[in-house]
Chain A
Amino acid sequence: MSFRYRVYATPRVSDTAYGAEVDISDYVQNVGIKNIIRGFDSGDYDVGIYVFGDIDLVCYDRDGKLSDEFDSRTIFRSGRDLAKIRVVFSAADGDTTTFNGLITESATRDDFLSGLRTFRVLSQDSVIRTAYVTGGQVTAGDTCTAAIKKILNVPMITKVLTFDLAQISVGLDFTIDDPTAFENRSVKDVMTEILTATSSVMIIDSTGTIVVRSRTEDQSRPTLNLYGKSDIFARENIVAIQNYNTGWNRIFTSFSVNGQVATSSAFATGYGFRQKTLTFKWITSNATALLVATKLLNQFSVPKIELQVQIATQIAKGVKLLDRVSINYPLRIKPAAGSFLPVVGISKIGGSDLLPSTVGQISISPAIAFKVTEIQDDPSQFLTTLKLRQVGSTTSDGFFNVAGNAIVGFAIVGQAVISGVGTGPEYNPAYVGGAKVGFTKVA
C-alpha cells in the first residue's frame, strides 16, 4: 500500500465566506511540512496545557497560483490571510485529515533565490489565541460550563470553529466568584486556567468542533493494539519507544490553590512531598479552591507510566486524543538449544522441554491501559509519535478490565495455588509470558 500527503487550500472569496477547496499538493516541497502536533499536558510540570502545533508550509510557486491578491494568477483573490489549509494523509484505503489551519499572512516569507514560498499556517485553535474576553462577558455565579460557552461561542471563534454546548462536559464544575479576572485577557490564557481548575482538556475534533471533557480516557472508542519486536505472534508494529518513565516526574502529592492545600499524607510519605501551587484570581471561595485542589490531587498524586511510541502513520491515522492504547512489548524469549518453547498446558512438568532464556531490560504488559495525550505526525517519514500516559488516578486502576486479565506479581509464588480444573477463563491454559500462577480475578 502506498502513501502520500496532500495539501488543500480553501481561499476566501470575501471577508466572511470561503470558496471551493483547491489541491495544492504539487506545489509543496517533499519535505515542506514539518511535524504536526496536537495534544495536552505536554510539559513535565504542566497540567492541562493544550498544544495544537502550527506548521510551516514550504512551497515552490512555479506559476504564481499561491501569490497574494495583487497577482492576477493567484487563487487567493481575497488575500491569503485566514485562507484554510487542510493536510491529508492519503492511503489506498482512504484519506485522513491530520491538520486543519489558517494561513497567517504576517508570517509568510518569499525566498527570491530559491523561489520557495513559506506559509505559516496556524492551527485551528489560533483564533482562540487571538480572541480575548471582554468586560462583562462572564458574570459572577456562572458555572464553569456556562463561562466556557460565553467565552467560546463568539463570532470571532465560531467563524472558524464550531461550538456545541453538548460537547462541553468539564471534569469538575463550580461557580465562578470573580469573573473580572478574565477580562481583557486572551481566550487561550483564560481557557488554560479554566481547564486546569476543572480538571478538563480541550480538543478540536476533525470536524472543527470544540470539545471540552474530563481527562479520563475515551472508553467508547476502540483500543489501539501495538506490538513490540518480540511479540510471540510476530505482529510487531512499533518502530520505537522513547522517553519511557514511571511517571514519578509528574506526580504532585500536594496542591495549593489560592492558599487552600490538599495533601495526600500517604503518598507524600511514599513518594515525597511535591507541591504544585496554583492561583486563580477568579476563585475567591475557600471551599471552591479546596475542591479544585482536591480534584487535582486525585488526578496527579499517583505515578502513572508515560512513554512515547513511534508507529507508522498508516496505523495511527485513526487515533484521537484520549484513545486507549495497549502495548504488548514482551521480553525476547529464546528457546533453549535443541528444545521447543515450552507452552503451559502442552509441555510436561518434569519433561524434556527446557525453560527458555529471556533477554531484555524492560517489558510492557498488554494489560496496562494507556491513553493518548499527544499525537505528532512526521509527514516526511510517514511516522507518528504517540505520547501515552497510563490511565486512572489510583494505584489499582490503570489496567484493562477484561475477564481473565491477571497480572503476575500480585500473587505470591509459594502461597498462591495453581488453578485446577474448571471452565472459566481463569482455567484456560496459559502461554509463555502470560502464565496465570495464582490467578487473581479482576473485579
Chain B
Amino acid sequence: MISGQIKFFDKSRCLYADGSSATASSGNASANFALDRNTNTYWRSVSSNDTVTETFQITFASNQTLSRILLLDHNWKQFTVKYDLSGVWTDFASVVGLDGALGGGISETAFADDSAYYEFTPVTTGKILITVTKTQTANQDKYLNQAIVTTELGTLVGYPNVKDVTYQAFPRIQKVLSGKDIVQKSEQGFQCKLDFSNYPPDSNGSPDFDLMASLFDRDDNFMIWLCGGRRGSTYFKYALRGFRLRDCPTVQMVTPLSVNYTENVYINPLNLSCEFHEAIG
C-alpha cells in the first residue's frame, strides 16, 4: 500500500506544451486537453457506452523513463493502461495502486474513485495506451481531465504542519461609480506552506530535510500531492480542495530554505519552513 504521506513528483513528462500529444478513438478533437494541466478542459468520448471500448494513446515528444502514472478526474470503472515496448503494448510490472498491489499490470474492473495513481517498475517508452470500457455511472461518455506520467522525487516520512493552502483567483477589483465593485477573476493558482517544527534529527525526520533541500536546489518545477494517495472518511472527514486525489499542482519552492536547530543546539530537533507556489513552464 502506498504510504499516504505528502508526495513530490517530477513535472509531467507528457505535457502538450512540451510536444507530447494524444489521440483517441472518439472525441479526438479534445484528446490533447488531457495533457495540458488545465483543470477546465477534458478529453471526452463521443456517443460511447459500456459496450464500446475507447482507446486513448499518449505519444511523448521523446522516450521517457517513468515510474508513476496519475489519471486525475475521470469517470472510469473498467480500464487498462499499458506502455509501448518495441511496438508491443506491455503491462507494467510490480504495480501498486491506491489500495495496494495489483497483479497483471494496470487493469481495473471496478474502479470507484475519481482519480487513479499507480507506482510500477520504471520503464522507458515513447507511448502509453489507455483502454476504457465501462464508466462508474453506466453508459456515460468517458472523460479524463489530466493524464500525468512522471517519476517520484520523494515522499515525506513525517507529517509537517501544512499551512495556508490557498487557491488564489488573482481578482482584479475595480470600484465603479455606484461604489460597487466589478470583480474579474483570473486563472487560479495554488499555494501552500510546509512547516517542519521540532523534527527529529534522525532517520525519522532527516530524510524529509534532505528532500526539501533537493527540491530547493531544483530549477525545474515539480508536483506536490498533499493527500499522498489517501482518501475517504477514514483519512478525511471532508477533503478540502488541495487535499483531494485530483489535486496535484505543478509548483516551485519560492522561499529561501530557512533551517535552524532548536535553541541552536546542534543535537536538538530541527526546524524548517518552506512555501510552494503553483508555477508555469
Contacts and interface: CB of A to CB of B under 8 A. Distances in A.
B27 to A, nearest CB: 5
B219 interface: yes
A319 interface: no
A32 to B, nearest CB: 22
B281 interface: yes
B57 interface: no
B185 interface: yes
A266 to B, nearest CB: 38
A346 B30 contact: yes
Interface stretch (B34-42, B81-89, B193-201): B34-42
B280 interface: yes
B38 A340 contact: no
Contacts of B184: 359-361
Contacts of B41: 232-233, 341
B112 interface: no
Contacts of A344: 29
A235 interface: yes
Given A236-B280, A237-B280, A360-B184, A333 B27 contact: no
Contacts of B30: 343, 346
Interface string A1-44: 11000000000000000000000000000000000000000000
A230 B29 contact: no
Given A1-B220, A346-B46, A359 B40 contact: no
A232 B187 CA distance: 11
Contacts of B118: none
A346 B32 contact: no
A280 B185 CA distance: 53
B258 interface: no
A234 B37 contact: yes
Interface string A315-347: 000000000000000001111000011011110
A232 B219 CA distance: 25
B186 to A, nearest CB: 6
Nearest to B26: A346
Given A332-B187, A341-B41, A234 B280 contact: yes
Contact of B36 (A92, A232, A346): A232
A77 interface: no
Contacts of A244: none
B37 to A, nearest CB: 5
Contact of A429 (B29, B40, B143): B29
A295 interface: no
B16 interface: yes
A229 interface: yes
B277 interface: no
A92 B220 CA distance: 12
Given A230-B187, A237-B280, A360-B184, A343 B17 contact: no
B16 A233 contact: yes
A410 interface: no
B56 to A, nearest CB: 14
Nearest to B187: A229
Interface string B30-62: 101100111011101010000000000000000
Given A332-B186, A332-B187, A360-B184, A340 B29 contact: no
A344 B44 CA distance: 12
A43 B91 CA distance: 63
Contacts of A359: 184-185
Nearest to B39: A234
Interface residues of B, number: 24
Given A333-B40, A341-B41, A360-B184, A233 B29 contact: no
A2 B32 contact: no
Contacts of A273: none
A340 B186 contact: no
Given A346-B29, A346-B30, A334 B17 contact: no
A230 B281 CA distance: 14
A233 B187 CA distance: 13
A431 B143 CA distance: 17
Given A229-B186, A359-B184, A431 B29 contact: yes
Interface string B161-186: 00000000000000000000000111
Contacts of A341: 40-42
A335 B27 CA distance: 18
A346 B27 contact: yes
Given A237-B280, A346-B44, A232 B38 contact: yes
Given A234-B37, A332-B186, A359-B185, A340 B32 contact: no
Nearest to B32: A233
Nearest to B143: A340
A227 to B, nearest CB: 8
A234 B143 contact: no
Contacts of A234: 17, 36-38, 280
Nearest to A430: B29
B42 A233 contact: no
Given A232-B41, A341-B40, A341-B42, A237 B281 contact: yes
Nearest to A3: B219
Nearest to A344: B29
A395 B31 CA distance: 37
Contacts of A92: 219
A429 B24 CA distance: 15
Most buried by A among B16, B29, B42, B184: B29
A284 B18 CA distance: 58
A429 B219 CA distance: 39
Nearest to B30: A343
Interface string A93-126: 0000000000000000000000000000000000
Contacts of B219: 1-2, 92
B17 A340 contact: no
Most buried by A among B27, B33, B40, B184: B40
21 contacts: A92-B219, A232-B33, A232-B38, A232-B41, A233-B16, A233-B17, A233-B38, A234-B17, A234-B38, A234-B280, A235-B17, A237-B280, A332-B187, A340-B44, A340-B143, A343-B30, A345-B29, A346-B29, A346-B30, A346-B46, A360-B184
Given A233-B36, A235-B36, 8 more contacts: A1-B219, A234-B17, A234-B37, A235-B16, A236-B187, A332-B186, A340-B44, A346-B29
